[in-house]
Amino acid sequence: MKITEIKILKVNSFMYVKIFTDDGLTGLGECGTWGFLDAAAEAVETFKSYLIGQNPLDIEHHWQYMYRSFHFRGAAVMGALSAIDIALWDIAGKHYNAPIYQLIGGKCRDKIRVYYHVGGATIEEIVSSCKKAKELGYTAVGHLSPFLDEPRTVPYFETGVQRINRAVDRVRLMREAVGDDVDLCLELHRRMNPGEAITFAHAVEKYNPFFLEDPIKPDNFDAMALIANRINIPIATGERIHTIQEFEMLLSRNAVNYVRTSVCLCGGITGTKKIAAIAEAHDTLIVPHNPLSPVSTVACLHIAAAVENFAVQELPDHSGPAATDRYVFDKSENVKALKQSDIVTKIPVVTNGFIALPEGPGLGLDLTENVEEIFPYKRRKVHTRLNTDGSICDQ
């Protein structure tokens, strides 16, 4: 079997890679470099010159060849490699007539716990969404920002004491809304410095958050370790990094308790499985990062099925636009006509906060016909929130 063609499919806010073979099998993968999909697409174009004519089943060799062929790495390159890797595993599953998780070790569980995306520009919106998630049967909610998902067009300012006290009180309201029946996964979106993060963590500890995600910019592993070693709430981080070496450095510093692997960014199925093994050696669990489309979700589910040290899976609402649209840009900029469920042939079904293991060979889903024409591609805008003094506000 040989690879005959590789197509790049740009759909609304997503980018997919579809690989074709001479025996009729195709594979689908998604790129996680969501802010720079055009750059990742060019990386795929470069990798094409190597992949055409190759046996798609030599996945590990192709991964190493692409990763080590040049002197450069980075998010665009890794997003491209991840999409290709997922597509190759999709082909392998179809070739062997088995779900991907069966090819990477078999199942470690019978169903997969998920947490529901919750957001809002006001605490009233967030609390309402938390209650809705509980009514739907979810036992965990995430993307919970104690600092709110306010529009990026609104300049930000709070005093230090307001910043801490208001955020803590919002978490109190979230906890009161769901009781002890729902875990709260707090997403701080890099809004604090280390000192603030430590103060906030001690103040919010009594509400027992499941974890604090990215309280500071995650670039400095030592700073994250400083926080992790001075608080009593688990730290979740990792969505912005993409090599096994970076994750090892993060883990060796005891800087993380829940590893946020971005399957469509950190090397696809191949890369994520290796990162999970490193995390297991450190007695640490993974929480796959997933703000993308149902293709990403299903790729994550195969990892969740086969990895023993899995905790919970992030699940965006696939009935609307991308999570990266809903929470990054003004609501008026969203494409209201888009339902992610229209992009693919099927989406996972949640029952009482769990999803059944993926069915069918390979990934178990495909894109719908003519999806590029139905939902034309749109380039991401550069849109960063500012503080009232004009400086950058991380959100």
CA nearest 43: which of 58, 57, 32? 32
Query: Which member of 62, 289, 302, 318 is catalytic?
Result: 289
* 71 contacts: CB under 8 Å, gap ≥ 6: none
The per-residue DSSP string of 186-222 comes to EE-TT-S-HHHHHHHHHHHGGG--SEEE-SS-TT-HH
Dihedral-angle region of residue 268 (phi above 0 means left; psi in -120 to 50 means alpha; beta otherwise) = left
| Residue of 62, 117, 189, 318 marked catalytic | 189
Q: Is 383 among the residues known to form the active site? A: no
d(CA 205, CA 18) in angstroms, rounded, equals 46
Give φ, ψ of 93 to 5 degrees. Answer: -60, -40
Q: How far apart are CA 299 and CA 83, in angstroms?
A: 10
289 is catalytic: yes
Give the whole-angstrom CA distance, residue 69 versus residue 50. 10
Helix 244-252 to helix 268-281 angle, to the nearest 10 degrees? 20
Distance CA 240, CA 260 (A): 9
Q: Which residues are catalytic?
A: 189, 289
